[in-house]
Amino acid sequence: MNTTTNITLPASNNIPETTIIRFKEVHTKDAIRIMVNRNKEVLFDPVKGRVKQFTKFIKSKESDTLEVNFKETVLTSYWCIEAQRKIDYALKQQRKINIDNPDATKITIKINDADLECPVERGIVNVETTEYCTQTIDYFHIFDNSTGLEYDAFQRNYIDEPNYTKQKNKKELGIILKPSISKTSLIISCNSKLTSKSPKADDILDDMISYKKIELYLVPVYIFECRESETQRSVTVKVDAVTGKIIKDQSQILDILKDDEFKNMLIDVAAEVTNAALPGVGSIGKFAVHKVMN
């Protein structure tokens, strides 16, 4: 069975330009600052902070020495990609037609104006057919650029939420934390998934991948620093400016606020759609470092 095929990838002018969509802040910095300030003991030291919540009548020394300062507004990003693979193929099949009349020795099958004569053997007519088929494989995924993992729930939690305002192709985008996935790697991964399986076929007539959309969603995040004046120990807190949710992952956030580390974590989003190319898939964006701190 011949299943060898050359998959046609989109020409450069058929790779969709990245649509950049930025969510508008729902919660203001001042409102978030109040929330962080109310919870600063828990954010700074979860154990002592919870004790204080149950003993509110006891004056907390920590609260007198903890200061909450706003540091920066940054943007986290999410890739959304939708593509489809369409395969036209032919498959030969042996079909059996059961004939109930035990005396029948042959039958004719009328196709349009032609009669096809077929012998009957032991009440069965064997017919060789060729099926011409079309299979479509759809691909839709959203990726969290902070982890590089699929996050399809973003559609429900953000995109479909009627109370969240989105702005397309806004010129002043601000600064975005460097994505863990580039547009190039996004397309390569999509192609790999779409071509991982092929239908059972005798002949592939046409095999093409097309892209419906590639979107980059940007979510604003406030960064606050909670610092103890006596020890100079600090904890950095990230708060989603859309949902108001405190992001507790602090594994590298302190390093982000250092000048050198911070510069390397930032990109110029506008360069994403102009400067890179991947053979076979057309123009692909490339991320460039954007310096925003002195």
Q: Looking at residue 248, what is its pLDDT? A: 60
Average pLDDT, the chain: 77
Q: Which two tokens stand for residue 95?
A: 């079909």
For 40-95, write each residue's pLDDT tens digit.
Answer: 888 877 645 444 544 454 444 445 678 888 988 888 899 999 999 999 999 999 98
Q: How far apart are CA 217 and CA 176, in angstroms?
A: 11
What are the residue ranges of helices labelled H in the chain? Answer: 29-38, 40-44, 46-54, 61-65, 154, 183-194, 253-256, 259-264
Q: Looking at residue 87, what is its pLDDT? A: 94
Total-model pTM = 0.75
pLDDT band at 160 (very low <50, low <70, confident <90, very high): very high
For 184-213, write each residue's pLDDT tens digit.
Answer: 889 889 999 999 988 999 999 999 999 999
What's the count of helices (H) and strands (E) in the chain, helices before strands? 8, 15
Q: Do residues 146 and 139 touch, judged by C-beta distance below 8 A?
A: no
Task: Output helix, strand, coil percentages for the chain, rounded to the nearest 5.
Answer: 20, 45, 35
* Bridge partners of residue 94, in order along the sequence: 128
Q: List C-alpha distances in Å: 124 to 97, 111, 114, 119.
A: 6, 19, 21, 8
Q: How far apart are CA 58 and CA 51, in angstroms?
A: 10
pLDDT, greater one: 257 or 119: 119
